[in-house]
Amino acid sequence: MCCSSSTWRLAGWWGCLRGCRYLLHDRDAKFCQSFRELIKTGGVNPLRLPARSPNLNSYAERWVRSVKEECLSRLILFGESSLRRALQQYIVHYHAERNHQGKDNRILFPSQTEARRN
């Protein structure tokens, strides 16, 4: 059995998977058979991506890299609540404060104060 107790708590809640039909995932050992069965019980069809094909899920791969390098690798987190708080603050920073090179160094969704400066 490879599913943790926190994974089992998701079974009744489903959080961000609510309303989704598919869950794309790579072939990491984290996505074991018991995990895929748990996902199926919530009405979500898990789809494994082919081996060694990072470009099939490139947006998600880039997001994970960004959040690891710019946020999680710089913090010592104590529990789930501090992780959630850090991720919420990073998401606000990512969308409202951080410039994006692929978008001509523009901020995706500038806050009211940032929009007035420009």
- Which of these, 80, 83, 60, 85, lies nearest to 72 by C-alpha position? 83
Domain ranges of the chain: 5-52, 57-117
Per-residue model confidence as pLDDT tens digits over 58-116:
888 888 999 999 999 999 999 999 999 999 999 988 888 777 767 777 777 877 665 55
pTM of the predicted model over 0.85:
no
CB proximity list for 64: less than 8 A, separation 6 or greater: none
AA identity, residue 52: R
Per-residue model confidence as pLDDT tens digits over 14-65:
566 777 899 888 888 889 999 899 888 888 999 999 988 878 888 888 889 9
